[in-house]
Amino acid sequence: MSSVNTAHSVVEPSRTSKRIAATIVIAYAVITMIPLVWIVLTSFKSPPDSISYPPKIVFQPTLEGYCNLFTTRTRQTSEYITSLGAPTSTCDEITRSRNMVIAGPSNYWPRFQNSLVIAFGSTFLAVSLGTLAAYGFSRFKVPLAEDLLFFILSTRMMPPIAVAIPIYLMYRELGLSDTALGMILLYTAVNVSLAVWLLKGFIDEIPREYEEAAMIDGYTRMQAFFKVVLPQATTGIAATAIFCLIFAWNEYAFAVLLTSGAAQTAPPFIPTIIGEGGQDWPAVAAGTTIFVVPILVFTILLRKQLLRGITFGAVRK
């Protein structure tokens, strides 16, 4: 009996241990999901429901949070509201039921667009630069390569916010404050070190013979890089891109400090919703829910690569 178990423990876990493992994993997943579920539920609650105690699990769902998120409203007398024509949209209807009319669109959508441009832009730059740099470090004799790599890594050794004041002053001088370009450059600078280190590992694993074969087959090194190395580094590039994107997407501290208007991203904008018309938790929750979507989609699209990227190095050939 015991010998059978030992043999199985190496090749295939027993049914019981599989169940225990599954239970733990599912429990962990559920616990981590709770805040997310709470946010999504709250986004569909009416403001009174959202602050009721004990929290309501069953409630009348409403799009009020989303309407409030995307619009600015003004309070009007009921006479004025009845004098208006029939409501033109669901949001109109909801707003009027609260004795308000829609005054115009809110800043959420432009802020969300800023987030998209800045996060994807900086990710693209960081990964492109990182791939080229990692390839260089991996394949060529770079003078002082070890020191350079350490220097690149050392930029991540302090909390980025430690350099916030100098960067703030620099950006003001350069006119990069509150510009999308400034934020892209900043996030690229932070992410490129991560990208170089992650990608160097991936590219080190790609045998040189592939490029050498391509170069003998008549291609230049650049062509060999694009035609042979890059297609094989997609796993690493995808994993790196997700890490970079998550950082740039979620970044709050620099965004608060360096953006206030035109280039403001969603993270610093969402808390400001609270101040506008009372504590509008459903609108905040709606803003957060929508904010999660792009990362979710990106991660799902690349999940195969991400999984391989994370377990990378665990299994050597």
Partner 1 sequence: MAEIRIENLRKEFGAFSAVEDSSFVVRDGEFLALLGPSGCGKTTTLRMIAGLELPTSGKIFLGGEDVTFNRARERDIAFVFQLFALYPHMNVRKNIGFPLLAQGVAKSEIRSRVEETARLLQIDHILDRSVSGLAGGDRQRVALGRAIVRRPKCFLMDEPLGTLDAEFRDLMVRELRELHNRIRATTVYVTHDQLEAMAMADKIAVMNHGIIEQFGTPQEIYNRPATMYVADFIGSPPMNFLRFTSGLQKGRRSVSVDGVDISVPEIQQDLEEGELALGVRPEDIRFSDASSLRGAVYGSEYHGTNQIVAVEMAKGLVKARVPADHSFRIGETVGLELNYDKLALFDCKSGRVVVSSRYAEHHYG
Q: Which of 139, 181, 190, 183 is nearest to 163 (CA)?
A: 190
Check binding of 220 to partner 1 (CB under 8 A): yes
Member of 23, 212, 253, 260 binding partner 1 (CB under 8 A): 212
User: CA–CA separation, 18 vs 97, rounded Å?
Assistant: 54
* Tokens 């957060």 sit on residue: 288
Q: Which two tokens stand for residue 111?
A: 């802020």
- How many CB atoms are located within 10 Å of the residue 79 CB? 7
Q: Which is nearer to partner 1, 117 or 215 (CB)?
A: 215
- Give the binding range for partner 1 (CB under 8 A) out of 15-23, 144-152, 210-218, 270-278: 210-218
Interface pick for partner 1 out of 13, 48, 105, 207 (rule CB under 8 A): 207
226 binds partner 1 (CB under 8 A): no
Closest approach, Cβ 223 to partner 1, in A, equals 8
> At closest approach, how far in Å is the CB of 235 from partner 1?
11
Nearer to partner 1, 224 or 245 (CB): 224
**Residue 153 C-beta: closest distance to partner 1, Å:** 27
Per-residue x/- marks for partner 1, 232-251, CB under 8 A? x-------------------
Residue closer to partner 1, measured from CB, 40 or 215: 215
Residue 127 Cβ vs partner 1, minimum distance, rounded to whole Å: 19
What minimum distance in Å lies between the beta carbon of 210 and partner 1?
Answer: 5
Q: Which of 149, 167, 214, 244 binds partner 1 (CB under 8 A)?
A: 214
Nearer to partner 1, 12 or 212 (CB): 212
- Dihedral sign for Cα 155, 158, 161, 165, please: negative
Report if residue 219 touches partner 1, rule: CB under 8 A: yes
Binding-site ranges for partner 1 (CB under 8 A): 207, 209-210, 212-220, 223, 228, 231-232
